Amino acid sequence: MFTIQADVLDPKTGKLRPLVKPRVANTLTQNWIKMLYVSLSQQTLTTSVPDTGTPTNRTVAPSSGLMALNATAGTTASGIVIGTGSGSAGITDTKLITQYTNTTNFTHGAMAAGQFSLNTSGSEYQLLIQRTFTNTTGADITFTEAGLYADYSTHTYFFCIDHTMFGFTVKNGAGNPVTLTYTYQTP
């Protein structure tokens, strides 16, 4: 199961509290399956894999950075991203509907080793991927969608591998950090 949730830091208690409870991520895109195939098989995929830019179809070959999600602070081209679009998510999506790229008003935290964790318990495995966004505007900021953008070939191309519409507006108060967490878990 693949889920997403959002937590906000409560300024009174200093602890995270749920802003969006864990919910099934809407759509693992066709790019997720294609890139997973290349990663596991180590075979070049010459069919179309559209990137988040133009979108231009790319040929994807085995690479050590095939599905890198470890974005640096301020990066909006890869890692967990957010947006303000409306509509629905689909398997053929190549990017968010309206990605939020203003890193001055809504800082995008780094996605380094501390933002990834692998938990095991018997036959259950869980991978967590996190990114914190901080509202620095002095006013509320809202978002309605999130996604995972994978960096391929050392910052050459970026591919949307998940697009989730929350189905409602997520409101983040002035000065508050909000942490989005994707969880991939075996049944």
Provide the number of structural domains found in the chain: 1
Position 81 pLDDT exceeds 80: yes
Domain that holds residue 96: 2-185
Q: How many alpha carbons lie under 13 Å from residue 87 in its C-beta half-sphere?
A: 11
Q: Identify the pLDDT of residue 47.
A: 65
pTM value is 0.81
Q: Are 3 and 20 within 8 A, CB to CB?
A: no
Give mean pLDDT, residues 114-131.
81
Q: Are 83 and 146 within 8 A, CB to CB?
A: yes
In this predicted structure, which of 6-20, 36-50, 78-92, 172-186 has the lowest mean pLDDT? Answer: 36-50
pLDDT digits (tens, 9 = 90+) for 123-182: 778 888 899 998 888 888 889 999 999 887 666 788 899 999 998 888 888 888 899 999
- Give the separation between CA 82 and CA 98, rounded to whole angstroms: 8
Q: Are 173 and 152 within 8 A, CB to CB?
A: no
Q: Are 125 and 176 within 8 A, CB to CB?
A: no
